[in-house]
Amino acid sequence: MTDGTLKRELGLSGAIVTGLGSILGTGAFVAIGVASTMWGDTLLLAIPLAAGVAVFNGLSSAFLAGRFPVAGGTYEYGYRALNPWFGFGAGWLFLLAKTASAAAAALGVALYLDVDGPWVPIGAALGVTLLVVAGIRRTALANLVLVGVTIAAIVWFWYRAQDGAIGWSVLRVPGSEHTDIAAATAFLFVAYTGYGRIATLGEEVKSPARTIPVAVVITLAVAATLYMSIEIGGRLAGGEFWGIGLELGFVDDRFVQIGAITAMLGVLLNLVLGLSRVWLAMGRRRDMPETLARLDTRQEPTVAIVLSGLLVAAVTLVGDISLAWSFSAMTVLLYYGITNLAALRLDRRKITSWIGLASCVFLSFFVPLDVWLIGVGLLVIGLIWKTWFKG
């Protein structure tokens, strides 16, 4: 094993595919369906609003990735532009939330395959881990295939929905059809935040200062277009309440089901990839064991990748998709709040970062209090770990 930097293997197309692979899974096949039953017609405005919030926050991430083109994302930006406590907090929250999200995606594979028991989600987590261990080039190729099938399935869904050829059963959510657009926007913001994987892989992107901003904007534009097509297509086919969702119903079209599985695998793949890079960055700064910062002879962080996959597999044994999504909503608002603060520390004139920060603060008021209490408790545990481990 050796120390060193990761190879710059990803060009613009690879960065875009990585972003889409991180976004389209639980966003298209969980979040839109859940949100539709809760907020009804409000989603027609909340989807583009959430995309706008994501763009402002994404531009802050892209700006920082250009200035600090290293692995770790906001963990590194917080360290370099603010102070170690902000950096560690961002990294710790990322590890907690995204490990839970990856476990939820693995559970989603089993649900769409209609298979009970722990072995399918565990097998999905470990299989994806082996693929990531094989290297960033093979991971990017697998991403391309998974994203291609997923987008084709969404387009097929739209086409079939127009003539009513697709149907599904829907489980209504208690208290549905609220019209609170801020709450809907906060909920859906999470459905876009997979673009953060592009910045997390900043050390592996070619010409990051130029490539990452373009990749972020294109990724979000494509995702917003596909989300709107799902929402409108679902209304054409299903009426007032509809959903392509793990908890809401099951689409009775085999190709759409296959697309859902590839979407979940794509999210899982990119989360294991992103988690390993944050473990690597934290190992470099000795916030975590230094072994995690070691690279193999191919310049791949094999130890960090394996740890990421094993933890995801373990969490699938106790995972809950709804809780993981709510927890992600809270953590991403904190995470991107720190991102915007770091960007403003470097350039206080960046209006996009001011808007991004204000949106995170505003939307944080619409996250349930019990989720905030859980998140703050886990953050305190992390800060105790930092104090003890570095002491």
DSSP label of 312: H
Q: ∠ at Cα 66 (65, 72), nearest 5°?
A: 25
| Sign of the torsion angle spanned by Cα atoms 183, 184, 185, 187 | positive
Burial class (CB in 10 A: 0-12, 13-18, 19+), 114: exposed
Q: How many domains does the chain have?
A: 1
Per-residue pLDDT, 316: 87
Give the chain's length.
391
Q: What is the residue range of 109's domain?
A: 12-390
Q: Would you say residue 383 lies in a domain? A: yes
Residue of 184, 163, 171, 150 whose CA lies nearest to 366: 184
Query: DSSP secondary structure string, 173-239?
Result: PTT-----HHHHHHHHHGGGGGGHHHHHTGGGBSSHHHHHHHHHHHHHHHHHHHHHHHHHHHHHHH-
Residue of 218, 220, 267, 200 whose CA lies nearest to 54: 220
Q: Would you say residue 138 lies in a domain? A: yes
Q: Would you say residue 6 lies in a domain? A: no
| CATH at 306 | 1.20.1740.10
Backbone angles phi, psi at 175, to 5 degrees: 75, 25
> How far is C-alpha 87 from the chain's CA centre?
19
Per-residue pLDDT, 343: 93
Q: What is the pLDDT of residues 235-288, one digit of tens each?
A: 665 544 344 443 334 456 778 888 888 988 998 999 999 999 999 999 999 999
Q: Would you say residue 24 lies in a domain? A: yes
Q: Would you say residue 2 lies in a domain? A: no
Q: Would you say residue 3 lies in a domain? A: no
Listed in sequence order, the DSSP H helices in the chain are: 12-26, 32-39, 43-67, 74-77, 84-113, 119-133, 136-161, 181-189, 196-200, 208-238, 254-284, 302-315, 321-346, 351-364, 369-390
CA-CA distance, 208 to 198, in Å (whole number)? 10
DSSP label of 82: I
Burial class (CB in 10 A: 0-12, 13-18, 19+), 3: exposed
Per-residue pLDDT, 173: 40
Q: Which of the residues in the chain have pLDDT under 70?
A: 1-4, 161-179, 233-252, 319-327, 390-391
Q: Would you say residue 381 lies in a domain? A: yes
- Whole-model pTM? 0.83
Q: Would you say residue 235 lies in a domain? A: yes
